[in-house]
Every structure is written in structure tokens, then in C-alpha cells.
Structure 1
């Protein structure tokens, strides 16, 4: 089978298509023929050498796929050969075939394409965990979503609107119409100096920017507000690792004072889906709640671009340059 390999740390040119043996299926596992694989910011950071959880190169990354069931291991129930499915993968998703535990697989509704399905396991599980599972979003609350035009941003918008929240979202002005169409009530131009000054206090903020953005987000919380920090995209500058930029960003991260937090009644929640996934040994607690929302057509993933494996570098570049509105995927 063909896979996309990070041959070494570096720019998009280090991504190569190589041949690997087909994976074997064990008890309780499912082998899937991949039709689309999701591209996430973590994949790009892994390529640059900025993601400590990633395997060392040469390696195959990728957290989520959509495709058809090729083989069922012994003991697997509720799935059928040839069924359309989506699945979470702890790396190895950039491949024509993957083998995953059955608990990390769910059926893909007929009204969604494979490309849309590849946006579900990570982006929508992250959005649900941040907003509902840990953020405890309530109807009528006010939410700020950073990078509202990205894969998680659009997922979070759809879930927040379903929860009857008032949604503010940051994006460049060229993307404001697109995020309004997804349900953002108040688009914000984050490139405008002092963009945060006239905003109301928020009940919940989703922030994957990191660096000084965490402090800005924390200051925008009202008493009882929750900041969900789930990424640090500001660590990335250019197509290759820049240690100086990364170090500066880390140094500008706020140091939260628990006594002050207690006095202000504000919460900071760190969210890393891979850590949760490893601890629970399954994505099931976060993908199971999505099933009903998919059937109700509440969740409608937006695909910004689909690239064949041999153009994986272009997919990474689109994401790194923030040109996407929605999910970027690879297709074998």
C-alpha cells in the first residue's frame, strides 16, 4: 500500500509517498480501506519537529480517516464488511489502509462524503470535548471561538449553535462571510489592533493559538468563565522549525495564579485529545455523542481542499498559510 512518510524534520518537501506492507488485523480490530485522511495542525508541527508526542521520522502521521471496512477481527460486532465508516488513528492515518480498534470506528452516514467524514473523529471530537464535555456550555451562554474558519472552529460553531449559544469568532475579514454562513453571530477581525477591547465578557473561550493569546482570552472571561486551551499554533512560523520563534512563544505563555483564579472564579482547561485517547484507550467517549448529531444533520463538515497523496506538501502549505475555510484532507 502507499503511505505518506515524513522522511525527516523540515518543510513540505520532506513528505514522500512510499510503499509499505498492508497492515494485519488482530482481535477486536478493524482494517479500513482509506478514501480520505484528515490533515491537522499537529501533523504539520510533527513534520517540523515541534510536536513531542509524534513518532520520530521516518514516520507516518494522521489521526483520522474515512473509508470502507475491509476486514473485521475476531470479536468485532456492529460493523460489516464494505460498510462506510470513519475512524480515529493514533498516527498512521496517511495511508491507503489502516487497522484500528473497533471502539474508534463509527458508521459514516450516507449523506456525508468520505472527505467530510475525515473531518469528524478529531475536529468534532475536540469541539465536543471542549464545549460540552469539559466546558459545560449552557444554552444562552456567550462563546468566543478563535480560528473560527478552521476545522475545529467550524465544528465548534455548529455544536455551539445547536446548544443555543451566542457565538463570536475570530478570522481574517475575507473569511467572515463563510463563518457567518456556519452560524457565527459576530465575526471578529483578529488582525485589527485592539480587536478585543470592545468585546463583552465571555462564558467560554476555545483557544488553540497559544502564546499571549491565552492571556487575552483569560482576561475576556467573566466570573464563572472557562478557557479551553487546546493548541499552540503560534509556535509555527514559516514552513520549517524556527526554534527562536517557538521559544519566544513559550516564554510569552501566561503563568496562571491559582489564588487569583479562585478569587476571580475563572477556569483554565487544558485539552489534548491524544492524552485523553491514550488514557481511556479509546475515542469512544467523545465520538459516541457525535452519532446522534450526525443523524440529525447538525454536523455538516466543510472541506476546504482535497489533495492526492503525492501533493501532501500542498495540503500542509494550505493549512500553514491559513488559507483554508474548513477541513483539509488527503486522498490516496
Structure 2
């Protein structure tokens, strides 16, 4: 099969050895579309290696067609149109994945749209409702609101009755987030978000992919009993934590990553998506947001686009072109 390899500082589409025989509980997919995530850029830079035993090929989510189901898999069959959450291997013509990490394409959507779903909605659901334990009406601060995860999280907040405030990098992105349902927002180029979020009413939960450079300000705007869920380190990994504020306001700091979770845990998250998110995708209450697409052989251009923080929503790579 063909897959993207890392050749020095360049990405190349070339022949590689494909996945081996299926083990119990696995399925083989012919990939139609692969999602691009910031984690791919981190892995490429040597900062986010795949979990032991997983593919070294980039790519954490795909859509495609089941070509083979392994022993013990009864709910998926050859020919099924699906999307899948991966620990690696998505930038390729074929992947093998645990069947618990596979979901059907929502009715009314195509394979291109479905590729924009698994990673962002799984990440948003996990961290808003499982790690962040949002209660009815609680208020959410979303950093990087125009990212793939951010745009999914805005829609989930709107759908489940949680006012949200976003921080973004441009007025265009702020307008896009408001259109998706964000109640208020802040352009980070205008300085600190602290006073704006305080005036809005503070946050009961913060979803933060930035890390160190936002820690002090996050603590200032986090309400009593608030939860700060850290999902990335775009702004560094080392900072000072105000333990007094943490103690007196009963704040909680939660670190969260999805990639290294075992298949059973990922399956539980996807089961929640199937129950709570998929019906809303079918009805149109939620939607995949695709920013731009490139052919898989032009993955380098897609990565450059994401490095520039130019995207609003998901960046996708076309592998087979099937929709």
C-alpha cells in the first residue's frame, strides 16, 4: 500500500508495507479521507510519539469502507461506510483498527464529512462531559475556539445548554465561532482575556490546549469549584501554579490525552457519541466543519496551513477521493 512517510523534513507519499493479518476484534478499512490534527505536527517534530505497538504513520482519524472484519466482530461487515478513531496510521490507503473505535457514517453525511468527526468530537465530548463533568447550565471557556476541537466543542455547548466564551486569533475566527453558537469571545492579539471573561461571568470549566502561558490567567477567571482541563501544550509546559487560589476556590487542574487510552476506553467514548452526538448530526443540530482539503500526496501543504493557524474547523486529506 501507499502511505505518508517522513523523509527528513518532508512528507512523502510512497510504497510501504501494509498492516498484517487481523486479530480478534479488529477490522480492516480502505481509507477514503484522513483528518489532520495538531498532534500530527507534534509527532512529526518528535514531541508526540505513538503509543507502544501502534503505527508510526501519522493520522489519528479516517473515514472509509470496511473491507474485512476479524474474528469476534459482528456489528461491522465488508462494504460498511464508517469513520474511525486511531492511535496512528491514518495517512495511508489502508488501516487496521479495533472495531470498538469505529462508528457508522451518520445518515445523510458522506465520507468526506465523516472524516471530520472522530477525533474532534471524541476529544470535545471526553473533556467537556467526562473529564470536565459539566453540570446543567455551567459556563465554559474554550481556547483555540476556531480549531477542529474548538468548533466541535462550541456546537456541543450550544446543543447541551452551556454558554461558552472563546479565545481566537482573528476577528474572522471570532465571527465564525459566534455563528456556531459561542456567546462571547476575545481576540488574543488584543491582550489578556482575563477582564473580558470576568465581565462575562467567569468560567466553571476551561478547555485549554495552550498550557503554560495561559495558566495564571486561567486561574484568575476560573470560578469556585471550577475545572481546568488541559489538553495541549502549545504555549509551553512549565509555569507557576497559584496553590493558594487553587485551594481557596477549590479549583481542579485535570490533564487529559485521548491517544494513549486503550481501545475499551475509546470505545466507551465513541458509544457516548453514538448515543448523544450522532442523532444530532443526523438532524442537523450538529455538523462537521471542514475548512480545506488536499490530496494525500500534498500533505505537506495541509500541514503548512495548520502551522499558520489558518484553519477554521478541520483540515482533511483525500486518499481515495470517495465521498
Q: Give the TM-score of the pair, scaled to structure 2.
A: 0.90
Specify the alignment match of 1:4 in structure 2. 4
Q: Which runs of 5+ in 2 are unaligned?
A: none
Distance 2:120 2:100 in 1: 18
- Report the RMSD for the aligned CA atoms in angstroms: 2.0
Deviation string, structure 1 residues 190-214 (Cα, Å, up to 9, x no partner): 1102332232221011110122112
CA contact (8 A) 1:148 1:154 kept: yes
Distance 2:269 2:154 in 1: 17
Distance 1:330 1:55 in 2: 25
CA contact (8 A) 2:165 2:197 kept: no
Aligned match for 2:152, one of 151, 155, 158: 155
Secondary structure of 1:43's match?
helix
Aligned match for 1:285, one of 240, 262, 268: 268
Secondary structure of 1:176's match?
helix
CA contact (8 A) 2:50 2:56 kept: no
CA contact (8 A) 1:104 1:282 kept: no
Matches within 5 A, 1:268-283: 268-275=253-260, 277-278=261-262, 281-283=264-266
Deviation string, structure 1 residues 224-272 (Cα, Å, up to 9, x no partner): 11111000123xxxxxxxxxxxxxx334x23463x65232211111111
Secondary structure of 2:92's match?
coil
Distance 2:127 2:268 in 1: 13
Task: Check 1:107–1:6 CA distance in 2 against 1; reply closer, same or farther (3 A cut).
Answer: same
Greater Cα shift, 266-275 or 209-218: 209-218
Task: Check 1:5–1:282 CA distance in 2 against 1; reply closer, same or farther (3 A cut).
Answer: farther
Distance 1:282 1:135 in 2: 16
Q: Give the TM-score of the pair, scaled to structure 1.
A: 0.88
Matched, 1:187 2:170: no
Matches within 5 A, 1:1-332: 1-8=1-8, 10=9, 14-23=10-19, 24-53=21-50, 59-171=56-168, 172-200=170-198, 201-234=202-235, 249-251=236-238, 253-255=239-241, 257=243, 260-275=245-260, 277-278=261-262, 281-292=264-275, 293-297=277-281, 298-332=285-319
Q: Which runs of 5+ in 1 are unaligned?
A: 235-248
Task: Check 1:107–1:154 CA distance in 2 against 1; reply closer, same or farther (3 A cut).
Answer: same
Specify the alignment match of 1:237 in structure 2. none
Distance 1:53 1:145 in 2: 26
Q: Deviation of residue 329 (structure 1)?
A: 1.1
CA contact (8 A) 1:115 1:306 kept: no
Task: Check 1:177–1:260 CA distance in 2 against 1; reply closer, same or farther (3 A cut).
Answer: closer
Secondary structure of 1:46's match?
helix
Secondary structure of 2:196's match?
coil
Q: Deviation of residue 55 (structure 1)?
A: 7.8
Distance 1:80 1:272 in 2: 30
Q: Deviation of residue 281 (structure 1)?
A: 4.6
Distance 1:59 1:225 in 2: 37
Distance 1:42 1:36 in 2: 17
Size of the aligned set, in residue pairs, is 309
Distance 1:87 1:69 in 2: 11
